[in-house]
Amino acid sequence: MKVMAQVAMVMNLDKCIGCHTCSVTCKQAWTNRPGTEYVWFNNVETRPGQGYPRTYEDQERWRGGWERTKRGRLRLKGGGRVRRLLSIFSNPKLPSLQDYYEPWTYDYDNLINAPLGDQMPVAQPRSLISGDPMKVEWSANWDDNLAGGPQLAVDDPVLKKVSDQVKLEFEQTFMFYLPRICEHCLNPSCVASCPSGAMYKRSEDGIVLVDQDACRGWRMCVTGCPYKKVYFNHRTGKAEKCTLCYPRIEVGLPTVCSETCVGRLRYLGLILYDADKVLEAAAVEDEKDLYQAQLDVLLDPNDEEVVEAARREGIAEDWISAAQRSPIHRLIKEYRVALPLHPEYRTMPMVWYIPPLSPVVDQVRDTGHDAEEAGNLFGAIDALRIPIEYLAELFTAGDTAPVDAVLRKLAAMRSYMRDVNLGRETRPEIPAGVGMTEESMHAMYRLLAIAKYEDRYVIPTAYEEAGRQLEEMSCSLDYDGGPGMYINGSGPFGEASGQPVPVSVETFHALRHRQTTDTLAGPENKEQRVNLLNWDGQGRPAGLFPERQEDGDA
């Protein structure tokens, strides 16, 4: 047994209202730089829907993840090592920009500089790629809230699997939101696809990262990731991905997306797993056994044997105790209400989801029945096959039994806690019916519904002795060469060449440029846009106000 620790996330989909706050704050923090305009490390998809990039779940087309060979071994679905190298000059399975979307801005300048005329001047959309006027036809959440309806949603690869003849009639629709970040898999196919060995899984906390110094821009990771959560920065020519906000995690803070989630639906914590068993578990024959196999890889942090083995591997005491208090472990292993996203990709994803009960509740309520009565909900779970099968295709490779079990637990909690809240006699048979006790029902309610900050996020800090290495956090501008290194985003060998610039320095400069310029975001100087979202009211961005007579403040 080789015990390793992993920072994992659980999202409670019942609480997601699809507000995209996580996406926006993530973008402002991480992908507001040139070359990443189209990149959303965190995005929120409406399901059923095509997702971002479009139809990324269709692995027959995109060839992401792993497949099991006849001899029971794992092979990259996109082909073995030799095949990868032979296609290195032109990756045949790379999504085009149109599969994501062509990013754009608006020609705001025209609003104030247009000559006097009969019509109101308009701000035309301009492509951030070519700078030309463009027609906005797609974006990262174009089919938000089922916009586009039956025409768009039918292309959802998951929906296609559920049934050939799903009618997306308004009365029959169901809908929920699926926020997605990088899964930080235990068996990451992006890492396995990287020819340069620039991608790696951190052995301390399992976060999957791209070494920007070692990446050579071969683009194989983009194909390798079945979730399409590795992106190619087209200006720097390097791959970028969700970092699980490791600078925050290292000091015990939750990720930006978690911190800013208004629905408080994200949970962060440690899990311990047996690294020796990962490959074996990822290679089980039947896809439907993958969920159980993945559960079996996770270790019980309260087991003395596991704790001993963890100590032998050098895992610190505060990490072990954090694993024992982990909300993730409770939701995944104890209550068994969280499920992995697409286990059939065999990457052992580590961002898990509590499937939403809301499609069921909505149906019951819409038919005029009591949507908090356990019997009604159980009956509806049995009757509403299409939403259940859809959820099963997302979370358990099509096996509806685990999804049924989770939804029954959620329905039981809803029903049981109503009695508590109304001061009625509680009915112990409700938790008993779903294999839980009254105590565990209360504890799960506390974790899911009350969801206190300190319960949701149990994040041990990086070791004390490693503290010195986190210096970038505190004095990022204070090093040789200093912030002056950032020369307009472009070195002598093209975009972002030259010495590495810490992210915080780059963001600092990008923000300052952006607040003090009024040029339209031409691709040459993309950091020089006026972004009113970023403008904090301080200073005078050059083009925002009319020129003053005297040369005033800068």
Partner 1 sequence: MNTLLWAAVPYVAIAILVVGTFWRYRYDKLGWTTRSSQLYESRLLRIGSPLFHFGILVVIIGHIIGLVIPESWTDAMGVSHDAYHIQALVLGAIAGFSTLAGVAILIYRRRTNGPVFMATTRNDKAMYVALVAAIITGLATTLIGAGIVADEHNYRETVSIWFRSLFTLNPDIDAMAEAPLSFQIHTLFGLLLIATIPFTRLVHMFSAPIGYLFRPYIVYRSRDARPDRPIYRNRDGVRTRQRAGRR
From candidates 493, 538, 550, 551, binder to partner 1 by CB under 8 A: 493
* Cβ partners under 8 Å of residue 274, min gap 6: 1, 2, 3, 4, 297, 299
Residue 388 in the binding site for partner 1 (CB under 8 A): no
Residue 387 CA, distance from chain mean position: 22
Contact pattern for partner 1 over residues 242 through 261, marking x by CB under 8 A: --------x-----------
* Beta pairing partners, 490: 495
* Distances from the Cα of 398 to the Cα of 1, 354, 385, 393, 411, angstroms: 31, 16, 12, 4, 21
Q: How many residues bind partner 1 (CB under 8 A)?
A: 76
Residue 16 CA to its chain's centroid (Å) = 13
104 near partner 1, judged by CB under 8 A: no
Q: In sequence order, what DSSP letters do the residues of 259-293 get, joined into one string?
A: HT-TT--EEEEEEEEEGGGHHHHHT-SSGGGHHHH
Is residue 194 at the binding interface for partner 1, with CB under 8 A as the rule?
yes
DSSP class of residue 100 equals H
The answer to the question of residue 84 lying near partner 1 (CB under 8 A) is yes
Segment lying near partner 1 (by CB under 8 A), choices 373-381, 411-419, 488-496, 534-542: 488-496
Instruction: Kindly tell me which of 168 and 503 has the beta carbon lying closer to partner 1.
Output: 503
Q: For residues 159 and 459, which CB has a smaller minimum distance to partner 1 in the complex?
A: 459
* Binding status of residue 491 toward partner 1 by CB under 8 A: yes
Minimum distance of partner 1 from residue 511's CB (angstroms): 15
Residue among 190 and 391 whose Cβ is closer to partner 1: 190
Q: Output the CA angle 7-335-309, nearest 5 degrees.
A: 50
- Residue 89 touches partner 1, criterion: CB under 8 A: yes
The CA-based dihedral angle spanning residues 356, 358, 363, 364, taken in that order and rounded to the nearest 10 degrees? 110
The answer to whether residue 276 forms part of the interface with partner 1 (CB under 8 A) is no
Q: Of 421, 499, 538, 549, which one interacts with partner 1 (CB under 8 A)?
A: 499
Q: Judge whether 525 and 519 are in contact, CB under 8 Å.
A: yes
Q: Which residues in the 33-72 window bind partner 1 by CB under 8 A? A: none
Residues 550 and 487: their CA atoms lie apart, in Å, by 29
Residues 523-552 touching partner 1, rule: CB under 8 A, are 523-524
Q: How far is the CB of 445 from partner 1 (least distance, A)?
A: 36
Q: Name the segment binding partner 1 (CB under 8 A); options: 22-30, 142-150, 217-225, 407-415.
A: 217-225
Which of 170, 493 has the CB closer to partner 1?
A: 493
Q: Contact with partner 1 (CB under 8 A): which of 2, 73, 81, 83?
A: 81
Pairing of strands 66-68, 74-76: antiparallel
Instruction: Build a one-symbol-per-residue string for 318-347: x at contacts with partner 1 by CB under 8 A, - elsewhere.
Output: ------------------------------
126 CB contacts (<8 Å, ≥6 apart)? 104, 105, 106, 107, 132, 133, 134, 520, 521
Instruction: Provide the angle, in degrees to the nearest 10, between the axes of the packed helices 374-383 and 400-421.
Output: 160
How far, CA to CA in Å, does 536 sit from each of 406, 514, 519, 531? 45, 11, 19, 10
Is there binding between residue 6 and partner 1 (CB under 8 A)? no
Of residues 147, 469, 488, 532, which one binds partner 1 by CB under 8 A?
Answer: 469
Are the C-beta atoms of residues 533 and 28 closer than 8 Å to each other? yes
For residue 40, the minimal CB distance to partner 1 (Å) is 15
CA distance 305 to 1: 10
490, burial (CB in 10 Å: exposed 0-12, middle 13-18, buried 19+): middle
Residue 484 binds partner 1, judged by CB under 8 A: yes
> How far is the C-alpha of 371 from the C-alpha of 364, rounded, in Å?
5
438-467 residues near partner 1, rule: CB under 8 A: 462, 466
82 lines the binding site for partner 1 (CB under 8 A) = yes
Q: Give the shortest CB-201-to-partner 1 separation in angstroms.
A: 5
For residues 120-149, which are near partner 1 according to CB under 8 A? 129-132
Nearer to partner 1 (CB atom), residue 106 or residue 200: 200
* Choice between 280 and 455, CB closer to partner 1: 280
Write down the least CB distance from residue 418 to partner 1, Å: 46
